[in-house]
Structures are given as C-alpha cells and as structure tokens.
C-alpha cells in the first residue's frame, strides 16, 4: 500500500501530484508551542501506516521543515513504513558546496547526507548546484533525481510572447535559458554579474540587439530580486518593448517581488515548486513521471 503525505500549507500542490499518480493524499497536522517547539500529528494510527509513503515537502524556509522531516521519518520508520520517498520541489542548503573561508561549514554535504539517511529516494527540481554535476554527489544513497522547470516555463513563454528573446541574468542561469530557448526555438543571451554583497549587484547586458523585442528574464530562483530588477531596468533603458520574468522557484524574500515590479517587469511567472501568487505552471506532470517508476521498486 502506498500513500502520499503532506502538510496543510502545501496541500494544493501535493494534491495535483497525488492525482497525477493516482495516490491517496493525507495531511499531517502541526502545532507550535509557545517556546517554538513543534508537535506533529499523523492522520493515521501507528498500526495503520502504509508500507510505502511519499512525503511532499518543499524545503523553502527550511529550518523548521528539516526538523519536521526528522520527526516524521523517525516515527514512520518505527511504525513499519518500509520505503520513504521525498518529493521536495525546492531543495535547500545546496549552494554552500565548498568552504570559501576557514571555518565555514559545507551545508550541501551535511544536508545531503541527512536526506540520504532519512529517505530511500529524493526528487527535486532545479537544485542550486554550482560545482557538482549530479544530485547524487550531494545525496550519496538511494535515488537522487533532479528535474528542471525550464521546459515547462518555456512552453508558457511561447504561449504568452511573440518571438521572445530569453535573457539569463548571470552566467549560472545559462543552463536554464539555453534549455528553454532550444525547446521553443528562440534566441537567448546571458548577462554578466558582479556581486557586492547579498543585495548589491552590477549587471552587464549581453552584446545583442534588444530594442523592440519582448524579453523574458529566466532563472532558477528569485530570492532578493535585485539581480532581476537591475537587469530589467537596463533592458528597458536599451529599448526593450517589454520585460517579463520566469523562474522555477519563487522565493521572493522580503520586498523582492515589489522590487521587481517597480523595476518595470510586466509579468512574473513561476512554477508551483514554492507556493506563491505568481505560480503559473504546475510541476505535477513532470514530478509524476519521475516518481511513478520509484513506486514499483
């Protein structure tokens, strides 16, 4: 018997995936005590736990959620669950993959090893990997599957824009922009970026004509929004007819969305990897395609 389990705040996205996989979906309940400790309650008694369970939990704002994963998996294993699979459309703590200064902790290896110990498989979307090629290098045990939201975003862009020009805001975005451009047969360019802290960046536009074009800034994640806002301002100043934004992960910390909109961005589109008002694309079909072969192992 296989079930899917989620938290109430992610029920909508989890339900889309459960329906695609034809799995029953249940929600666990959360209670926060005055001292910020968590109490979790499962929707079934210990003796009624399934033999295989898919946990849907996107790991944006990850600190409390990682504690949830530990509590849930340790209890579920004790209840007799034989296989635990994690669908984490956003996977946290992947960017810190080396120590840049003495004493820095490399979070990727630690969180990756933790997830490998807790789960038999992990599926995610566009993890923020810099210096490794495969997710299995960060999650060393079980199945580690990394999908991309770029093709689905590309299909949306093709519907919304006429002869779009895709622009990556920095060198790291090239992989997503190039993949999307190839899918819909359009041109693309990549900006260069010099960062002077978490929120201060300097953008250099690609050497290509943008005047009169419908431009779409594409990236894996929008966090502070400063990079996208800076690129948008320069592109509009260079004569772009319009600038839209398409991202896989809509983190939008603090005033990020307002900053992007104030820069002149017309539309902001994101996948539902992180629940946000900008969500325009469901990742359920792609996640289901990756998940279904694992359910029969």
pLDDT tens digits, one per residue of 205-230: 898 999 999 999 999 999 888 889 98
Out of 28-37, 144-153, 195-204, pick the least confident.
Answer: 195-204
What are the residue ranges spanned by the domains of the chain? Answer: 2-148+282-295, 150-272
Q: Residue 35's pLDDT is what?
A: 96
pLDDT tens digits, one per residue of 111-138: 999 999 999 999 999 998 878 889 999 9
CATH number for the domain whose boundaries are 2-148+282-295: 3.40.50.2020
Q: Residue 198's pLDDT is what?
A: 59
Question: pLDDT at residue 199 above 60?
Answer: no
Angstrom distance (rounded) from CA 284 to CA 207: 37
Q: Residue 100's pLDDT is what?
A: 87
Dihedral angle at the C-alpha atoms of 69, 31, 14, 256, nearest 10 degrees?
A: -90
- For the chain, the average pLDDT equals 93
Q: Residue 80's pLDDT is what?
A: 93
Q: Residue 224's pLDDT is what?
A: 87
> Among 12, 3, 1, 2, which Cα is nearest to 277's?
12
Q: Residue 237's pLDDT is what?
A: 94
Choose the CATH number for 150-272 among 3.20.20.150, 3.40.1160.10, 3.30.1280.10, 3.40.50.2020.
3.40.50.2020
pLDDT tens digits, one per residue of 27-57: 999 999 999 999 999 999 998 999 999 999 9
Q: Residue 133's pLDDT is what?
A: 83
Mean pLDDT score, 57-77: 97
Q: Residue 201's pLDDT is what?
A: 64
Question: pLDDT at residue 82 above 60?
Answer: yes
Question: pLDDT at residue 266 above 90?
Answer: yes
Question: pLDDT at residue 275 above 90?
Answer: yes
Find out whether 180 and 218 touch, Cβ atoms under 8 Å: yes
Angstrom distance (rounded) from CA 234 to CA 238: 6
């Amino acid at each position: 018997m296989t079930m899917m389990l989620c938290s109430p705040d992610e029920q909508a996205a989890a339900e889309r995936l459960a329906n695609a996989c034809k799995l029953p979906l249940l929600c666990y309940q959360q209670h926060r005590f005055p001292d910020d400790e968590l109490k979790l309650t499962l929707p079934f008694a210990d003796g009624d736990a399934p033999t295989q369970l898919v946990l849907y939990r996107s790991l944006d704002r990850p600190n409390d959620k990682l504690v949830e994963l530990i509590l849930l998996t340790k209890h579920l294993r004790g209840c007799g669950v034989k296989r635990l699979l994690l669908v984490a459309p956003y996977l946290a703590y992947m960017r810190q993959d080396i120590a840049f200064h003495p004493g820095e902790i490399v979070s990727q290896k630690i969180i990756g090893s933790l997830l490998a110990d807790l789960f038999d498989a992990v599926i995610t979307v566009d993890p923020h990997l810099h210096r490794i090629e495969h997710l299995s290098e960060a999650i060393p045990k079980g199945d580690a599957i990394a999908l991309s939201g770029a093709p689905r975003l590309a299909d949306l862009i093709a519907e919304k824009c006429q002869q779009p020009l895709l622009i990556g805001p920095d060198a790291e975005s090239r992989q997503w922009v190039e993949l999307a451009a190839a899918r819909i047969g359009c041109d693309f360019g990549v900006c260069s970026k010099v960062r002077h802290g978490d929120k201060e960046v300097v953008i250099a536009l690609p050497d290509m004509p943008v005047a009169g074009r419908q431009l779409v800034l594409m990236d894996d994640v929008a966090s502070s929004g400063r990079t996208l806002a800076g690129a948008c301002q320069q592109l509009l100043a260079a004569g772009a007819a319009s600038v839209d934004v398409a991202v896989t992960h809509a983190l939008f910390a603090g005033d990020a969305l307002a900053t992007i909109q104030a820069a002149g961005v017309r539309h902001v589109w994101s996948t539902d990897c992180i629940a946000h008002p900008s969500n325009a694309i469901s990742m359920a079909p792609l996640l289901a395609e990756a998940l279904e072969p694992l359910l029969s192992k």
